A and B are shown apart, each in its own frame.
Chain A
Amino acid sequence: MNPRSRRGTTKPKGAITLHARHLRARLKGWGGVGAMAAACALAVVFALAVTCTGSVASQAADPHRAGDRTTQAHTADAPRAADDCEAPEKQTLSPSRADGPTITAIKNRPGEKRKLIVGVDQNSYRWGYRDPNSGESGRLEGFDIDLVHRIAEDILGDPDAVQFKAIPTDQRIPAIQDGRVDLVVRTMTINCSRLKDVAFSAPYFKTGQQVLAPKSSPITGYDETLANRKVCTAKGSTAYAKLEEDRGSGDLPASTDISTTVPNQLDCLVRLQLGEVDAVVNDGALAASQAAQDPTVELKGEAFTTEYYGVAMKKDADDLVRRVNQILVDFRQDTATGWQASYTKWLSATMDDDPSASRPPAAPEYLRRS
């Protein structure tokens, strides 16, 4: 007999150990495979679960997919900007030439600093921009800039006593509130929500939102042809607020993608030309200045809002508001170098020859009392 079998017979415990070991070895082999199979199965189940819940979650978060035309119900809880104010363009103070604390402070600025600090745009063609071919590299010009020079001349006696600050669309209100600028003349629409933060002058220009798209585009205007299209707006613009509101209320197809916002309206033209968006929504005045830079795009449809541009100032700068309103009265009446002359010089080429659609009210109302 060999030693192993003897051990096997005389020591049953050994045999059991042996069998157990065998079994364990086998189990080990299969155990590994089994564990791997279980892990795989678990992973697959988990992945499926994640994708399913993920898509459910994103569907819930994404109103486009949740149901295209069922959003009418949202009308009730859509944000209403014009809740407690009507005719925002009339909420301003009556004109006056009297100097107050704000104007005195500006006039008392020492030496080189005796300038009006104005927030403008340097990218709005024919409104406030730098003409690369003007020969003077730092010079800003345009309709807004003309008005700035006029205000500076009136207050400080020198049309060039201005320090221009270029500010992005969404920085206009903070710049005024922080006192970084005295006033903002930057194609800024007077509306109710902004009236809570800043004071506006009387309107100096009339315009309305319009759609800009390539001439070849099937988009016909602010309507259902915008469904499934990407629309670009400037961050913090009235255009974006309007699109958001209308998409909520169902006036704009829910599938319209309005997620592309840029610091400056002109950046929208870049995105449009690069094919990253299908259309731009902007004030007609600015949309026209974009179309003037690219003959392959055009305004689509009529303006779907009415808006007025105003000069924005600090909320408590009453003397300045009155003074600017007085300057605007003169600006409108002056046919030689005033509103009409600036329109002809800067805007008649890009907009209508006839300025009547853009002319602000000849006799603005001044409803603000305090």
Chain B
Amino acid sequence: MTHTPNTGAPPTLPAIPPQQPSPTALGSTTPAPASPPAPPAPPTPRRTAFAEGVDQLRHAATTEPGRLRIIGAVLAALVVAFGAVTAWQMTDRAAAADAVLTSSQPLTSDAADIYRSLADANTAASSGFLAGGQESAATRDRYERDIATAAAKLVNAAANAAPDSPSTETITELNRLLPEYKGLVERARTYNRQGYPVGGAYLRYANEKMQQEMLPAAQDLYTKENERLRADYADATPYPWIAIALGLATLAALAWMQRRTYLRTNRVLNHGLVTATTATTIVLLWLTAGHTLARSHLDDSYDHGVRSLAVLHDARIASLKARGNENLTLVARGAETVKAGDKTLDAYDHDFTRDIDTLAKGLAHAQRLADDDTGEKPVTAAVGNMTEWKKRHAAAREQDENGNYQQALDMVIGAKGATGECFDAVDKNLATALKHEEAEFATAAGDGRDALTGLPTGAAVLAVLGATGAVLGIGRRLSEYR
């Protein structure tokens, strides 16, 4: 219901005594009340503070000193308002820019690392099983390192997520699943050492937990952190239109006042007003230039940092998935099949083909996004590794199709000339590229944030200075009337 002015419900108007029906009820600022026809003249109705204020102003405006006082007050208010709005809008943007640099981007990277570590740990564990005998020290180290990384990044993510946020829920879930997963893998190892195939069954169970519960949760976390990063960017980059408009209005008012003074007194400069104008101009220029600069750096950090990082992260994850499926093809040994058209294909090998295609697309995209040699070199190298990987994979598959399982195994997890070498090389090159892009991001986003340094405080101080100037300048004129 929209609130219509009180047309006749006395209790809702406590400010006005009931025995004195208000003329404001009929039209608030009409000064002359309708004269009642009854003979006893009623007391003049009490008027609202606003109406009285308007009257006073009208009265004051009839004399020049009065006008000057009003103008002085308005100018000072404008300058102070401009400073305050600038400080407020830029504090928000500076905080968002700082969040991009120091919290949401690192957390997005952390979430990607959590996913990567978990997937890599799982691949390392299944490679260990593939090796049949006891896993090598290198595989074991890799697994342990991945688990340690995931655990550390989870703690960090938990510390930075707001309580009750959906991220916190996901992190809690992952924190619950990680020891569970690790327990299953440890049991698998123990049984494997004893030579019992139930070890393999534990590993399958662990793999299932990883694929069906943990990796989707990690993916979810990554998505959420990415959303947060985008939201921070969206908070940091829009133009502070209100502040700019207010600044222009203030400048216009100051110019008008100075012209008025000049026309009336023939004096060109009023020191106070000049100070106010200068301060306002400085704030407006600083605001526009600082924000434009910050915005350009932030956009740059997004285009050349965040986007490259996302593409590289995705490519790295695709390569991990491909490796995992390559291993599982041999672990499952034809257990799972899919129908593609009229052909029956191995399900894991089918997934491998899909993952390696994703990797190829990701790498091509990353090459397009790379904007300098240092960034492009590792990506180009990774493309080379991937091509070799596909070649070796095809050879290994042929051996497996021909029933030479042991040879196929050697070509996938063997020491020399195996596809494992190619995967490791792809991973290493992508890690290098990620590091480079992360540095680029940090530089650009850091520059963006720094462009806003001191702007809120500076605007506030200058606004106070400008307002003082306006008041003093008008005061100087006023004193001439005393």
Chain A residues engaging chain B, CB cutoff 8 angstroms? 1-4, 7, 18, 21-22, 28, 112-113, 115, 117, 122-125, 129-139, 162-168, 171, 178, 180, 263-264, 266-267, 269-270, 273, 290, 293-294
Contact = CB atoms under 8 A, between A and B. Distances in A.
B192 A168 contact: no
Interface stretch (B199-207, B213-221, B354-362, B440-448): B199-207
A340 B332 CA distance: 31
Contact of B409 (A4, A117, A138): A138
Interface stretch (B60-68, B128-136, B277-285, B374-382): B128-136
Top 6 closest pairs, chain A to chain B, by CB: A137-B132, A163-B403, A166-B333, A165-B334, A112-B402, A293-B196
A103 B187 CA distance: 44
22 contacts: A1-B36, A2-B21, A113-B402, A113-B403, A130-B132, A131-B195, A132-B132, A132-B133, A137-B131, A139-B132, A139-B406, A164-B333, A164-B405, A166-B332, A167-B335, A171-B335, A171-B337, A266-B201, A267-B204, A269-B198, A293-B196, A293-B197
B404 interface: yes
B8 interface: yes
Q: Is the interface of A mostly helix, strand, loop or mixed?
A: mixed
B213 to A, nearest CB: 15
B159 interface: no
A290 B200 CA distance: 13
B56 interface: no
A269 B201 contact: yes
Contact of A165 (B187, B205, B333): B333
A294 B409 CA distance: 30
B403 A115 contact: yes
Nearest to A131: B195
Nearest to A28: B1
B205 A267 contact: yes
A3 B406 contact: no
Residue from A137, A139, A266 with most neighbouring chain B CB atoms (10 Å): A137
B15 interface: no
Contacts of A134: 132-133
Given A133-B133, A137-B133, A180-B344, A4 B198 contact: no
Contact of B133 (A21, A124, A135, A264): A135
Contact of B195 (A7, A133, A166, A267): A133
Interface in B384-414: 401-406, 409
B342 to A, nearest CB: 11
B239 interface: no
Interface of B: 1, 8-9, 19, 21, 34, 36, 38, 130-134, 187, 191-202, 204-205, 332-337, 344, 401-406, 409
Nearest to A128: B197
Given A112-B402, A125-B198, A269-B198, A137 B409 contact: yes
A139 B405 CA distance: 9
Contacts of B191: 293
B228 to A, nearest CB: 35
Given A117-B403, A136-B132, A163-B403, A122 B334 contact: no
Contact of B406 (A21, A138, A171, A290): A138
Contacts of B409: 137-138
Given A123-B201, A266-B198, A1 B38 contact: yes
Contacts of B198: 125, 266, 269-270, 290, 293-294
Nearest to B408: A138
Nearest to B333: A166
Given A112-B402, A164-B333, A132 B38 contact: no
A9 to B, nearest CB: 13
A122 B333 contact: yes
Contacts of B134: 132-133
A164 B404 CA distance: 9
B406 A136 contact: yes
A136 B132 CA distance: 7
Contacts of A138: 132, 405-406, 409
A123 B199 CA distance: 9
A111 to B, nearest CB: 8
B8 A18 contact: yes
A137 B193 CA distance: 13
Given A123-B197, A167-B335, 4 more contacts: A113-B401, A132-B193, A138-B406, A163-B402
A122 B197 contact: yes
Contacts of B1: 28
B33 to A, nearest CB: 10
A115 B334 CA distance: 16
A1 B21 CA distance: 11
Contacts of A2: 19, 21, 36
Contacts of B132: 130, 132, 134, 136-139
B294 to A, nearest CB: 49
A123 B335 CA distance: 12
Residue from A3, A115, A129 with most neighbouring chain B CB atoms (10 Å): A3
A105 to B, nearest CB: 16
A159 B129 CA distance: 26
B131 to A, nearest CB: 6
B133 A112 contact: no
A167 B333 CA distance: 8
Contacts of B201: 123, 264, 266-267, 269-270
Contacts of A129: 197
Contacts of B337: 171, 180
Given A2-B21, A130-B132, A168 B335 contact: yes
B46 to A, nearest CB: 15
A122 B335 CA distance: 10
Contacts of B401: 113
Contacts of B334: 165-167, 180
A130 to B, nearest CB: 6
Contacts of B205: 267, 270
Nearest to B20: A2
A139 to B, nearest CB: 8
B306 to A, nearest CB: 42
Contacts of B193: 132-133
Residue from A2, A125, A290 with most neighbouring chain B CB atoms (10 Å): A2
A168 B21 CA distance: 91
Contacts of B8: 4, 7, 18
A242 B329 CA distance: 33
Nearest to A267: B201
Nearest to B18: A2
B135 to A, nearest CB: 9
Nearest to A135: B133
Contacts of A167: 334-335
A139 B44 CA distance: 110
Nearest to B1: A28
B315 to A, nearest CB: 31
B184 to A, nearest CB: 8
B260 to A, nearest CB: 45
A137 B194 CA distance: 15
A343 B335 CA distance: 27
A113 to B, nearest CB: 6
B401 to A, nearest CB: 8
A273 B191 CA distance: 12
A273 B184 CA distance: 11
Nearest to A5: B21
A180 B204 CA distance: 23
